[in-house]
Structure 1
């Protein structure tokens, strides 16, 4: 039989866990100007984002209507509706994960100690994901695979990126 002190200790421990989880600041995601159609697509994609990416739990974002999601600390950040990345060219290579082509900048890909920004350049609107170096290499692969279903379901393939 549990004593009152044991129940109180367990309750304090649970409250402590809740306060630690709530203590993280929301992750800021820039607001982008999108067409009404892209805004609607991105909102559906964001509403479908998973609770976990690369074994990291979802975090709050700001502003509340941000078209993206964040997981973990440091945060893996996804944002919908971004422009084509500056370094992307027609001859740039992509990595395919679960049927979705992701553009990975060569300089970032080769340096496992740097954060990497990946983008679904063959889809519209484009989903961009920033993966902190801490999660590489497994977190990078997990993010691509775990977010691919939302990309395929909610965005439009305009030109495959291989």
Structure 2
């Protein structure tokens, strides 16, 4: 009888564990966007914190929904998310004389079309590199997200050369 109780408890324990795994697998945290957090130096990190304070609550009509892990160096809007990362390293493509660029309301951006159909824009001639990734499903709006982000970038990230 003692072994029956032990097997019964084990069976209940496994059932509870399976239920917890199922519930965790269906949690709302799973639909959160994620973004790698950059590791800039102290000066750039300070500029990025300043940028975070002035970012708009809406970009291209989408509400702010920051990616995981939470950081003042990253921000997001919508689902699928438009993701901003501040303090990224200089993209290699920036040295390519054939690279595409756009100027949006006084902020220069390097344009990179990715293999999955999404776009990545990185600021040029600013003291910190700010990257904005636009998922394929949102590229139909062109540079509209950059129009909303330009005032904050101009206010927080001074013109200059990032190192």
TM-score (norm 2): 0.72
Asked if residue 129 in structure 1 is aligned to residue 156 in structure 2, the reply is no
For 1:62 and 1:47, the matched residues in 2 are separated by 18
For 2:50 and 2:149, the matched residues in 1 are separated by 13
1:38 to 37, 44, 53: 44
For 1:121 and 1:96, the matched residues in 2 are separated by 9
User: By how many angstroms is 1:35 displaced?
Assistant: 1.5
User: By how many angstroms is 1:90 displaced?
Assistant: 5.6
Asked if residue 60 in structure 1 is aligned to residue 53 in structure 2, the reply is no
- 5 Å matches for 1:4-43? 23=28, 25-43=31-49
For 2:123 and 2:66, the matched residues in 1 are separated by 23
Contact 1:29 1:66 in 2 (8 A): no
1:11 aligned partner: none
Q: CA deviation digits over 1:26-80, x for unaligned, max 9?
A: 3322222221111111011012111111111111332222411111111100000
Segments of 4+ moved more than 6 angstroms: none
2:82 aligned partner: 76
Structure having the higher helix fraction is: 2
Instruction: Flag structure 1 segments of 5+ consecutive residues without an equivalent.
Output: 1-21
TM-score (norm 1): 0.73
Instruction: Flag structure 2 segments of 5+ consecutive residues without an equivalent.
Output: 1-26
User: By how many angstroms is 1:122 displaced?
Assistant: 1.7
2:145 to 143, 146, 160: 143
Structure having the higher strand fraction is: 1
Cα RMSD, aligned residues only: 2.2
Contact 2:75 2:83 in 1 (8 A): yes
User: By how many angstroms is 1:118 displaced?
Assistant: 0.5
Contact 2:33 2:66 in 1 (8 A): yes
Higher Rg: 2
